[in-house]
Structure 1
Amino acid sequence: MSGPLGAVEEKELDALIVGGGFGGVCQLHKLRKEGFNVKLVDNVSDYGGVWYWNRYPGARVDSTVPHYEFSDPELWNHWLWKQRFPGSQELRDYFSFVADKWDLRKDTQFSTLVTAAQWSDVDCRWHVTTEDSNTRETQKWKVSYLLMNTGFAGKRHIPDWPGIDKFKGFWVHPSFWPHEEPSLKGKKIAVIGTGSTGVQLTQDLAPLASEFVLFQRTPNLALPMKQVDYQGDEQPIPKQKYDALFKSRNENFGGFNFDFLPRGTFDDDEEKRRETYEELWAEGDFHFWLATYYDMLFSPDANKAAYDFWKEKVRARISDPVLKEAFAPETQPHAFGCKRISLENRFYELFNAPNVNLCDLKKTPIVEVTEKGIKTTNKEYEFDLVVCATGFDAITGGLLQIDIRGEGGQRLQDKWKEGVKTYLGMAVSGFPNMFFTYGPQAPTALCNGPTCAELQGDWIVNCMKYMRDNNFVKITADSEAEKKWAASIWTLANASLLPNTKSVSTYLSIYHIARACLCSVD
């Protein structure tokens, strides 16, 4: 609707939620229950957040159910999972189920891209501009609160190798995987990257390919997933135990219902330690990482003991001595568990097949992309399909894609130009009434997603209720509080092995230690 002289009329809300993943959906549901006038917008056509995009072969969550779902009994009493680790399609089906049960669609606007947001101290409101993704029509909003749920995987990262535009085959980032599956059987396929996405892609694509090459810079110290397919009404645990699981999920380090052991690695003798490792390994999820001895992430000797066990298990699954060393080096490449652990299903055995190969990018880096494929320092590979699983701008990308301006017109890009500063990993000084989830300096990087979505969502809702009940209209983080928040996190992190491991995921995982801080803030 247009006003005088064709001006676009602003729609007024208590809050505008940006993003339709776990965080945004949780906030929409809870804020409506508290009587707030709120809308959710997303630039895609359905709910799911990262799971709307992740449709590549093998895409699935690496948290077990029922950890990876909302804690509302109205949902879990009426939902059955098909697998212990659901695939992306099942997760999209779950979001559709949640949308129906919570009646979310009436307050959701899809195909809506947020392009700009400006805070005004005159009326203590955010003035937000959106654009219809299909028609490019502009819409204006005037809102008391701006709630950003763009996630830590909001902006794809593709290295600027020369020649990408010359490649005659199919080049794709996995989050842009086409909705209609391309022909893959018998093709020459490459996957670049060995994060969890690279591992999952390899497991599905290598058996289909006539020739397959995985380009690896750093080995993934992956753990066995041990997938389970459920039959009939079978589920991982009885429904009567769900309440206890969701309660404990909020109380443990990783957002699961398990935590570190109350004893150190060398409190056990060698036989008992081996028995403990075997029991953790047999769980087939994150137990070997996050339910192990409490000193594993803090003591180099304890960490090496865990790595040595892992190395023995993995090397036994690989035939080629060169590949044994590439995937599970004799000399530990970095502190175990201080890069994001991935889960795998017979990933290592694939490389025993003659058509499946590994290119070590530390020894032979990529020089350029050619018309036929990829050229490294020692050879040129020919491919029909290249999947560039090189991740995301995982620190600030989702937020900085939007022109966000706070008090005095300061841009968030400029505020963070000299380094990211936040309070609780959820707010920024100079940007009143703006909260974000899955953001920088928050505990969410290594946390089970729905756990932190609910924890952070509850904090935001309770803050907004307090503001309303006490007739406050503006809240902003203090710059000194930002400094103290960062300092407290680094103090905790520096007591661990995390800062000694160089990677973006490690930068994020340092802030995972903030969970204790976040949970203690009222």
Structure 2
Amino acid sequence: MTDTPEYDVIIVGAGFAGVHQLINFRKLGLTAKILEAGGDFAGTWYWNRYPGARVDSEMPIYQFSDPELWKDWTFTELYPGWKEIQEYFHYVDKKLDVKRDVFFNSRVASAHWNDSVNRWTVTTEDGRVFRGQFLSLCTGIGSKYYVPEFKGLETFRGEVHHSSRWPEEYDFAGKKAGIIGTGATGVQIIQEIAPIVEQLTVFQRTPNMTLPMRQREISSEEQEKMKELYPIFYGRRYQTFAGFPYDLIQKPVADTTPEERALAFEDQWEKGGFRFWFGSYVELYTNPEFNDEVYAFWRKKVRERISDPKLQEILAPMQPPHPFGVRRPSLEQRYYEVYSQPNVTLVDINKAAIEKITPNGLRTGDGVEHQLDVLILATGFDMVTGGITSIDIRGQDGVPIKEKWSNGVQSYLGLASATYPNMFWIYGPQSPSSFTNGPSSIEYTSEWIISCIKHMRDNGFASIVPTEEAQNAYSAHVDELGAAGLWLGAKTSWYMGTNIKGKKTQMLQFPTGIPAYAKLCNESAAKGFDGFTLKSA
């Protein structure tokens, strides 16, 4: 074991969380290395390079808050695309030489804890071995892509591409394309390739309650003026539900008038982005009658853009398929106009289910065989937990975390798990994750973990692990928060794990916002990291 490289911290993943951890562990004088499965930085924006892929948070909130990493950087669009996010990471690397502490093309296969020496042994798929006192899992919520079991998929003679494994170069011109899935990825791909392909067939199960993005170019001059407010934007993040500069309206709906609500809806809609979701009245998530009112407004706005009554009912049905906002809305630019094109066909697979993939295309239950040259699988991910459970992680009792979580996730504070000492994760199970702007949630959790490790170093502690009692109480709290909302109204939702066969139905994320989450974490830290067991060196 003498030739095994050893570090204070081993970080898994080189996206926002992993890079933030590395930068700040360096400032503490700790040795840290990132193991990254991909060939470059950017995390989800390395893997998700499909046509139209872009963030759903406005700049400047979707970047690091450190002035050194924004004062001389400018984006070109309000909602940056994947190429520009990659360029931003290269800018950060040029500033801080992040790359010298990163092993790319290094997918982690296992991580095993040795309680006698307080160390993790981490092994990559190609057989390299590393040791570290701390293990930081920065695998995100969407790193394990998912392909459902489609009968006959292996017989298809055309090309098949999952959105998260997109080829570097692909020309859709003259192609007959089919796409399964109308989540965020599907929406972005559909509106991007519809003008290019010869024929596009969209297979939809659940209509996406999309919101207007209001995308636009943004000049460097405008950003320079905005930079005076950047510190305020970043400080405001931890004060709002979702880590945006705007917040949910706390005023009880019963204390408002219909006119007041109508004007609020119009304002949120026109400003665009997630304001109609994360800037609405807080009762959106708990009050069925008010939720119906919100849906009715959304339905009216969408139907105004669709002339065909049949398409209106498929894309924005009179009866909501689930409460508004209990599945993550997607942002769109011209999504509904696509369906008026003569080369685009929308198939409602609730009425004509996918029967099988054939050598020449896809057959639906109504007997129609759709001829295809390329099949796009926008079928999502084993969300929230898949990036962690795909690694063979074993703690004090030697039980793999995948086995531990087979009957449901349990954590303490959505960042650590009992029997897995010195292991933390960021933007993962039972954290606020996708209920927030990514970097906002990531930076808060990362800073908390860094402060915890500094506390341990300053006070001579070798390991820290949540107690079973604290973990059970926190996990029960997350379950209670989930049960108090309308989340179960969606039959298939990755928020609840129901998009993956065999996965337990439960609220996988902390659903009541960053301030409520931070209060719990800060209270633990203020009490000497209450809920954890600390062991002296």
- Pairwise TM-score range, normalised by the shorter structure: over 0.9
Match of 2:411 among 398, 406, 422: 422
Structure 2 residue matching 1:390: 3-state secondary structure = coil
Residue number in structure 2 paired with 1:141: 130
Within 5 A, what are the aligned runs for 1:98-177? 98-131=92-125, 136=126, 138-177=127-166
Structure 2 residue matching 1:112: 3-state secondary structure = coil
Mapped contact 2:431–2:509 kept (Cα < 8 A) = no
Mapped contact 2:436–2:513 kept (Cα < 8 A) = no
Mapped contact 1:498–1:510 kept (Cα < 8 A) = no
Residue number in structure 2 paired with 1:205: 193
| Cα distance in 2 for residues equivalent to 1:514 and 1:82 | 30
439-448 or 371-380, larger mean C-alpha shift = 439-448
Mapped contact 2:161–2:375 kept (Cα < 8 A) = yes
Match of 1:191 among 153, 162, 179: 179
Aligned-pair Cα RMSD in Å = 1.5
Corresponding position: 1:291 with 2:279 = yes
Corresponding position: 1:453 with 2:442 = yes
86-95 or 102-111, larger mean C-alpha shift = 102-111
Mapped contact 1:498–1:509 kept (Cα < 8 A) = no
Structure 2 residue matching 1:295: 3-state secondary structure = helix
| Cα distance in 1 for residues equivalent to 2:48 and 2:222 | 27
Match of 2:459 among 443, 446, 470: 470
Match of 1:47 among 41, 44, 48: 41
Deviation (angstroms), 1:272: 2.8
Give the total of aligned pairs: 510
Mapped contact 2:11–2:136 kept (Cα < 8 A) = yes
Deviation (angstroms), 1:266: 4.6
Per the alignment, do residues 315 and 236 of structure 1 end up closer, same or farther by CA in structure 2, a change over 3 Å counting? farther
Mapped contact 2:362–2:371 kept (Cα < 8 A) = yes
Query: Counterpart of 2:104 in structure 1: which amino acid?
Result: F
Corresponding position: 1:323 with 2:311 = yes
Per-residue CA distance 1:113-148 (angstroms, 9 max, x = gap): 2111110111111111124xxxx3x32212100111
Query: Counterpart of 1:350 in structure 2: which amino acid?
Result: V
State, as a whole percentage, how many aligned pairs show the same letter.
41
Consecutive unaligned residues of structure 2, counting only runs of 5 or more, are 497-506, 523-537
Match of 2:63 among 69, 89, 100: 69
Match of 1:399 among 363, 377, 388: 388
Structure 2 residue matching 1:189: 3-state secondary structure = strand
Match of 1:37 among 28, 31, 44: 31
| Cα distance in 2 for residues equivalent to 1:334 and 1:429 | 35
104-113 or 511-520, larger mean C-alpha shift = 511-520
Residue number in structure 1 paired with 2:342: 354
Per-residue CA distance 1:359-409 (angstroms, 9 max, x = gap): 111111111111101111011101111110000000321112111111132
Query: Counterpart of 1:54 in structure 2: which amino acid?
Result: N
Structure 2 residue matching 1:504: 3-state secondary structure = coil
Mapped contact 1:437–1:453 kept (Cα < 8 A) = yes
Mapped contact 2:183–2:330 kept (Cα < 8 A) = yes
Please report the TM-score for the alignment, with normalisation by the length of structure 2. 0.92
Mapped contact 1:197–1:389 kept (Cα < 8 A) = yes
| Cα distance in 2 for residues equivalent to 1:278 and 1:300 | 20
Structure 1 residue matching 2:222: 3-state secondary structure = coil
Mapped contact 1:223–1:344 kept (Cα < 8 A) = yes
Residue number in structure 2 paired with 1:79: 73
| Cα distance in 1 for residues equivalent to 2:397 and 2:509 | 32
Segments of 4+ moved more than 4 angstroms: none
Per the alignment, do residues 160 and 184 of structure 1 end up closer, same or farther by CA in structure 2, a change over 3 Å counting? same
Structure 1 residue matching 2:462: 3-state secondary structure = coil
Per-residue CA distance 1:454-505 (angstroms, 9 max, x = gap): 0110011011011111111011111111111112122233332223323333
Corresponding position: 1:19 with 2:13 = yes
| Cα distance in 2 for residues equivalent to 1:435 and 1:297 | 29
Deviation (angstroms), 1:232: 4.3
Per-residue CA distance 1:282-317 (angstroms, 9 max, x = gap): 111111111112322221111111111110000010
Deviation (angstroms), 1:513: 2.1
| Cα distance in 2 for residues equivalent to 1:441 and 1:13 | 28
Residue number in structure 2 paired with 1:245: 233
Please report the TM-score for the alignment, with normalisation by the length of structure 1. 0.95
| Cα distance in 1 for residues equivalent to 2:401 and 2:479 | 23
| Cα distance in 1 for residues equivalent to 2:410 and 2:478 | 12
Structure 1 residue matching 2:494: 3-state secondary structure = helix
Within 5 A, what are the aligned runs for 1:219-368? 219-235=207-223, 238-368=226-356
Mapped contact 1:245–1:257 kept (Cα < 8 A) = yes
Structure 2 residue matching 1:209: 3-state secondary structure = coil
Mapped contact 1:8–1:140 kept (Cα < 8 A) = no
Per-residue CA distance 1:169-228 (angstroms, 9 max, x = gap): 11010111111x222112111111011000000001111111111111000000010101
| Cα distance in 2 for residues equivalent to 1:433 and 1:502 | 37
Query: Counterpart of 2:19 in structure 1: which amino acid?
Result: V
408-417 or 466-475, larger mean C-alpha shift = 408-417
Deviation (angstroms), 1:410: 1.6
| Cα distance in 2 for residues equivalent to 1:437 and 1:57 | 28
Structure 1 residue matching 2:465: 3-state secondary structure = coil
Structure 1 residue matching 2:30: 3-state secondary structure = coil
| Cα distance in 2 for residues equivalent to 1:505 and 1:236 | 39
| Cα distance in 2 for residues equivalent to 1:231 and 1:119 | 50
Per-residue CA distance 1:399-457 (angstroms, 9 max, x = gap): 12111111132211221122211111111111111111121111102211111110110
Deviation (angstroms), 1:46: 0.9
Structure 2 residue matching 1:233: 3-state secondary structure = helix
| Cα distance in 1 for residues equivalent to 2:254 and 2:491 | 27
46-55 or 512-521, larger mean C-alpha shift = 512-521
| Cα distance in 2 for residues equivalent to 1:237 and 1:346 | 30
Mapped contact 2:135–2:423 kept (Cα < 8 A) = yes
Deviation (angstroms), 1:267: 3.1
| Cα distance in 2 for residues equivalent to 1:338 and 1:124 | 41
| Cα distance in 1 for residues equivalent to 2:317 and 2:251 | 28
Structure 2 residue matching 1:227: 3-state secondary structure = coil
Mapped contact 1:396–1:440 kept (Cα < 8 A) = yes
Residue number in structure 2 paired with 1:519: 518
| Cα distance in 2 for residues equivalent to 1:120 and 1:232 | 51
